């Protein structure tokens, strides 16, 4: 009957035989990172003899080995396959795929093992991984470049004076790492400004993470913003999850609809902004973050503070620089530019030549746009989709647009002189716009002398736009 020693020696021979017939390279080091086993495939690859390297420190044999670090840390190499240029003692430059892990006896690290794949198929795969990695980095840079161009201040539409003032402030503050609070009605372009500030800042190469605070249920917002550890609650992902703040580190986080955030979450957000660190839900580790905060709301935060529904300390933390974007109804001279932009965008996309008839353009210019730019895009896309032929007519517009314009064309109540003056003013405006502010053509259409037209324009305080 064989002794335990005999059986152990037999098993060791079997394991050694398995290692030697493998086409993969195997190397084992002790807890001092000295080589205690190496198979024939690895010896052939390194162009060494086994007896020459046994007992040597691993980095004296393999220059870029990190088995010494594996022995110290006890961590398995997180990437199962590596693609890298491997300079061995032979001086040859090769590509290999490597897996490394510690050998444990209970809680003690007693060794570390490395498996190296250098079959032609694996090396081809490793080369492809390396090439794809380089290609991925190229496309990442291209996406950032395109994003920077797309979201630039230069691409913003608008010549309205108030809008230009807000835009100039935003351009100045972009280079400063300050918190920005953007105010404005729904659809005015608050996210457009947030993007432009990010891409004009020193953080442009970092992430831009948007969080819609109103769209996430309050009970989920904390884990969404701060992340969570594995097992912290029912349904938590294995391995946990990074939160939006951690993902935004090195870049910008955009807290949209901040006015909808519950008071208890406001307190937690304030602490993160003050300390520049966070703890995941269910975790104890403090994670440092480096972020810029841009927030936005369509609500009156000062009134919410008076009603004790928004924290004043958080408000002042967010409101270092305030941008108040004017609604579209107060940017009359920009309306036509937006209409043309959205229509041209659709024509370019679908290779068409759809246009607006004068009456439809006039109706859109006189509409009040309660939903602002977002509503305009929706209306133009709808009219474009349903158009018969290539001309969008007034009756192609939504009923609410047409009805509001009809109602607004009726004179307001007042004395007879006021009503006559209002009708005369609206008529002059409509005809002079139709004639592109050409006074000769306008006077001719009205059947009056040009000097009479000028007198009426001055009386009604109608400004002539030079085109």
Residue 160 is part of a domain; what is its CATH number? 3.40.50.300
Q: 182 and 305 share a domain?
A: yes
In-domain check, residue 134: no
Span 216-228, average pLDDT: 92
What is the maximum span of the chain, computed from C-alpha positions, in angstroms?
A: 128
Q: 1 and 40 share a domain?
A: yes
Span 145-152, average pLDDT: 64
In-domain check, residue 130: no
In-domain check, residue 299: yes
In-domain check, residue 23: yes
Q: What is the CA angle 32-34-38, rounded to 5?
A: 140
Positive or negative, the CA dihedral 333, 335, 338, 344 is: negative
- Measured distance CA(23)–CA(40) in Å, rounded: 9
> Other C-beta atoms within 10 Å of 333: how many?
13
Q: 257 and 180 share a domain?
A: yes
Q: 337 and 311 share a domain?
A: no
In-domain check, residue 133: no
Q: What is the CATH number of the domain that holds 85?
A: 3.30.450.20
Q: What is the CATH number of the domain that holds 431?
A: 1.10.10
- pLDDT over 70 at 139, yes or no: no
- 456 pLDDT band, cuts 50/70/90, is confident
* pTM of the complete model: 0.62
CA distances from 313 to 303, 320, 401 (A): 14, 12, 42
In-domain check, residue 131: no
Which among 305, 326, 347 is the end of a domain? Answer: 326
- 250 pLDDT band, cuts 50/70/90, is very high
Span 14-40, average pLDDT: 88
- 127 pLDDT band, cuts 50/70/90, is low
Q: 305 and 394 share a domain?
A: no
Contact 315, 201 (CB under 8 A): no
Q: 21 and 66 share a domain?
A: yes
Q: 319 and 334 share a domain?
A: no
- pLDDT over 80 at 157, yes or no: yes
Q: What is the CATH number of the domain that holds 351?
A: 1.10.8.60
- 247 pLDDT band, cuts 50/70/90, is very high
Angle between helices 450-459 and 439-446 (to 10 degrees): 100
Q: 222 and 85 share a domain?
A: no
- pLDDT over 80 at 298, yes or no: yes
pLDDT at 448: 86
- 207 pLDDT band, cuts 50/70/90, is very high
Span 237-254, average pLDDT: 92
Which among 102, 118, 134 is the end of a domain? Answer: 118
pLDDT at 91: 47
Residues 389-438 have pLDDT tens digits of: 999 988 888 887 866 655 555 555 556 666 667 667 777 877 887 777 78
pLDDT at 36: 92
Contact 223, 211 (CB under 8 A): no
- 248 pLDDT band, cuts 50/70/90, is very high
Average per-residue pLDDT in the chain?
A: 85
In-domain check, residue 426: yes
Which among 326, 360, 389 is the end of a domain? Answer: 326
Span 177-182, average pLDDT: 97
Whole-number percent of the chain with pLDDT over 90: 51
Contacts of 131 (CB under 8 A, 6+ apart): none
Name the residue range of residue 369's domain: 330-407
pLDDT at 238: 79
Q: 47 and 184 share a domain?
A: no
- 90 pLDDT band, cuts 50/70/90, is very low
Span 52-65, average pLDDT: 91
Q: 378 and 453 share a domain?
A: no
User: How many domains would you assign to the chain?
Assistant: 4
In-domain check, residue 129: no
Range among 43-52, 71-80, 124-133, 395-404 rated most confident: 43-52
> Other C-beta atoms within 10 Å of 372: how many?
22
Q: 403 and 437 share a domain?
A: no
Q: 311 and 354 share a domain?
A: no
């Amino acid at each position: 009957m064989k002794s335990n020693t005999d059986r152990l020696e037999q098993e060791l021979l079997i394991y050694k035989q398995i290692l030697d017939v493998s086409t993969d390279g195997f190397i084992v080091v002790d807890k001092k990172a000295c080589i205690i086993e190496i198979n024939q495939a690895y010896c052939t690859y390194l162009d060494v003899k086994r007896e020459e390297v046994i007992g040597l420190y691993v980095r004296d044999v393999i220059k870029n080995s990190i088995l010494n670090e594996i022995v110290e840390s006890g961590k398995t190499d997180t990437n199962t396959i590596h693609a890298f240029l491997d300079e061995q003692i032979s001086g040859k430059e090769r590509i290999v795929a490597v897996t490394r892990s510690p050998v444990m006896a209970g809680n003690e690290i007693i060794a570390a093992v490395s498996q190296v794949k250098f079959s032609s198929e694996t090396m081809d795969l490793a080369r492809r991984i390396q090439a794809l990695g380089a290609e991925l980095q190229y496309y990442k840079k291209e996406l950032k470049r395109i994003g920077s161009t797309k979201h630039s201040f230069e691409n913003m539409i608008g010549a309205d004076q108030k809008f230009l003032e807000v835009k100039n402030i935003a351009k100045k503050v972009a280079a400063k790492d300050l918190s920005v609070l953007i105010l404005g009605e729904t659809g005015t372009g608050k996210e457009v400004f947030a993007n432009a500030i990010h891409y004009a800042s020193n953080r442009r190469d970092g992430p831009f993470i948007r969080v819609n605070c109103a769209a996430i249920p309050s009970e989920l917002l904390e884990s969404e913003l701060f992340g969570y550890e594995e097992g912290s609650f029912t349904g938590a992902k294995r391995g946990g999850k990074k939160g939006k703040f951690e993902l935004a580190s090195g870049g910008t986080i955009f807290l949209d609809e901040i006015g909808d955030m519950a008071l208890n979450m406001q307190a937690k957000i304030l602490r993160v902004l003050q300390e520049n660190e966070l703890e995941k839900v269910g975790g104890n580790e403090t994670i440092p973050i480096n972020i810029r905060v841009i927030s936005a709301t369509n609500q009156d935060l000062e009134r919410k503070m008076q009603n004790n529904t928004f924290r004043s300390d958080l408000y002042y933390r967010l409101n270092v620089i305030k941008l108040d974007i004017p609604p579209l109804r107060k940017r009359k001279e920009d309306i036509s530019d937006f209409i043309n932009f959205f229509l041209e965008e659709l024509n370019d996309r679908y290779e068409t030549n759809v246009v607006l008839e004068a009456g439809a353009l006039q109706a859109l210019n006189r509409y009040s746009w309660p939903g602002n730019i977002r509503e305009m895009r929706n209306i133009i896309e709808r009219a474009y989709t349903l158009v018969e032929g290539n001309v969008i007519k007034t009756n192609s517009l939504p009923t609410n647009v047409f009805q509001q314009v009809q109602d607004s064309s009726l004179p307001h109540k007042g004395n007879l002189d006021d009503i006559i003056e209002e009708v005369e003013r609206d008529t002059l405006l409509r005809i002079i716009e139709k004639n592109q502010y050409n006074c000769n053509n306008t006077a001719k259409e009205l059947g009056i002398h040009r000097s009479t037209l000028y007198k009426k324009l001055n009386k009604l305080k109608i400004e002539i736009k030079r085109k």
